[in-house]
Amino acid sequence: MSIADNLRQVRDTIPPHVTLVAVSKYHPAESIRQAYDAGQRLFAESRVQELLAKQPQLPDDIHWHFIGHLQTNKVRHLIGHTTLIESVDTIRLLNLIDAESYNAGIITRVLLQIHIAAEETKFGFSPTDLLDYFNTRQFENLRATHICGLMAMATNTDDDSRIAADFNQAARLFDTIRATPGLIGFDTLSMGMSDDRRQAIAAGSTMVRVGTAIFGPRQY
């Protein structure tokens, strides 16, 4: 199956209100080009150097999302190169993105990553810290950053009920935070990957991040 065929099949499983992000990390620019030629314009990368290396090789109407763990010393290099940074996982990182964006005279759009999965290895805000951030209205201190919503990953397991529970928890948090008075443009819930996108969409995802089902296995 070609990348174009895979893309068509994946699209057929996604309702119109859900945005498809093609996760192109570890795949060459040539593969991205094939997806582009099949109509895809939104891609995601997980490493800053890789994103910056691929960008100039590809058409400039591509929208790039960043979905990897972002080290603070890479923030300055990344801002201005993304439509959305989905993986903001600490207040410190958020405030740094804000300061660098302000200095650069741009607005950076971000999602806050929540840690709901059972694995210790995953990054993200705890639900408590996240609710506290909004309840204490710290978001009002941001000058050049727009928080567009949340990103979540479910536990990596074959247990469907566990996956559904993780996504439902993320969806409840999203709804709670969205009801914060004065919070504007908080409308994106990014959850669901190749293997669990159906459950994520059923739980209320508005954005899925699909790599393997489009591009095949990654060569690390």
Ligand X SMILES: *Cc1c(COP(=O)(O)O)cnc(C)c1O
If one asks whether residue 124 binds ligand X (CB under 6 A), the answer comes out as no
If one asks whether residue 116 binds ligand X (CB under 6 A), the answer comes out as no
- CB atoms under 10 Å from CB of 198, counted, come to 15
Task: Give min distance, CB of 17 to ligand X, in A.
Answer: 19
Closest residue to ligand X: CB criterion: 211
Quick one: which of 27, 109, 122, 209 contacts ligand X (CB under 6 A)? 209
User: Which region among 77-85, 155-163, 179-187, 206-214 touches ligand X (by CB under 6 A)?
Assistant: 206-214
If one asks whether residue 24 binds ligand X (CB under 6 A), the answer comes out as no
Quick one: which of 34, 40, 46, 206 contacts ligand X (CB under 6 A)? 46
If one asks whether residue 110 binds ligand X (CB under 6 A), the answer comes out as no
- In this complex, which beta carbon is closest to ligand X, that of residue 14 or of residue 193? 193
If one asks whether residue 67 binds ligand X (CB under 6 A), the answer comes out as yes
d(CA 210, CA 195): 9
User: Which region among 51-59, 70-78, 91-99, 211-219 touches ligand X (by CB under 6 A)?
Assistant: 211-219
If one asks whether residue 156 binds ligand X (CB under 6 A), the answer comes out as no
CB 153 within 8 A of CB 115: no
14 contacts: CB under 8 Å, gap ≥ 6 = 20, 197, 201, 208
If one asks whether residue 23 binds ligand X (CB under 6 A), the answer comes out as yes
If one asks whether residue 210 binds ligand X (CB under 6 A), the answer comes out as yes
Quick one: which of 10, 84, 193, 207 contacts ligand X (CB under 6 A)? 193
- In this complex, which beta carbon is closest to ligand X, that of residue 67 or of residue 116? 67
If one asks whether residue 35 binds ligand X (CB under 6 A), the answer comes out as no
d(CA 24, CA 35): 10
Q: In the complex, which residues of this chain contact ligand X (CB under 6 A)?
A: 23, 25, 46, 67, 153, 193-195, 209-213
